[in-house]
Amino acid sequence: MTAGDLAGATIVFDLDGTLVDTAPDLVRALNQTLDLEGLPNVPASAVRRIVGQGARVMIERAAALANAHFSPARLEQLTDAFVHFYKADIAGASTLFPGALAAMDALTGAGAALAVCTNKRTALSRALLEALTIDHRFAAIVGADAVSNRKPHPDHFIETVARAGGDAARALMVGDSTADVRAAKGAGAPVVVVSFGYNDAAPNEMGADAVIAHFAELEAIARGRLAM
C-alpha cells in the first residue's frame, strides 16, 4: 500500500459520539433547558441514549422521561434556549475520542478527504470543531439544517461527500448510530460503527460493514474498502 492510495476517497464522520465525546456539554445545556420547565435533570448516561437527531428531538426525549410534552411553539423556544446555553461553553468539557487525531492524520496522509455529516446544526458543529482547533481538517461540515433531508436519509451523506469534492461511490461513513448506518447504506456506501459512541442499538446489530473499538482500526478498514 502506498501513501496516496486513498486519493479521491472521502471519509465522512458523524460528530457527537463518533469524533467527539460531547455528552458532558450536551447534558449541561440540556439540564439548564429542563430547569426552565422545572423538570428533573438528566444524567449523562441517559443523554448518551437520546442524542443523534438534533437538539429539538433531544429535548423532546428528555422531557418524555418525565412524562412532559410541549407545544410546537414552546419546543421551539426551548430549542433556542438550549442552543444559547450550549454555545456559551460549547467545548468546555468535550474531548476528541482517543486516537481520532492520529486516524485523521493517517487518512489524509494516504490522500483521503475528510468531512463531517451530522444532525447537529451546522453553525454549532463549526463552532465546536473550531474550539477543538480541528475545523481546518474537513473539506465539508454539513449539519442537518444545511440539507433538505437529514440522516438517516442518504441525501445527507451524498450531499456531504459532494461538498467535500468527492464521489459517494468512493466514500465511507464512520458513525455511532442506526441513522449513520442507514444514511450510508442508502447511498450504497460502506459504514463503520464505533462501539464507544452514543450507540442507539447494539453496534454489532446495526448492519455496519465493520465495528471498531478504537480509531487505530479505522485506517486499515478504509484502505481495504476504498484503496485504488
DSSP 3-state of 104: helix
The values of phi and psi at residue 114, to 5°, are -110, 150
Q: Any residues with CB less than 8 A from the CB of 133 and at least 6 apart, and which?
A: none
**Cα–Cα dist 11/89, whole Å:** 28
26: its cell numbers: 450536551
DSSP 160-180: HHHHTT--GGGEEEEESSHHH
The single residue listed with the C-alpha cell 449523562 is 44
State the DSSP H helix or E strand holding residue 58, giving kind and residue range, or none if neither: helix 55-64
Cell of 44: 449523562
- Confirm whether 14 is a catalytic residue: yes
For residue 75, which of 51, 94, 58 has the smallest C-alpha distance?
58
Helix (H, G, I), strand (E, B) or coil at 68: coil
Pick the catalytic residue from 14, 21, 25, 200. 14
Catalytic annotation, residues: 14
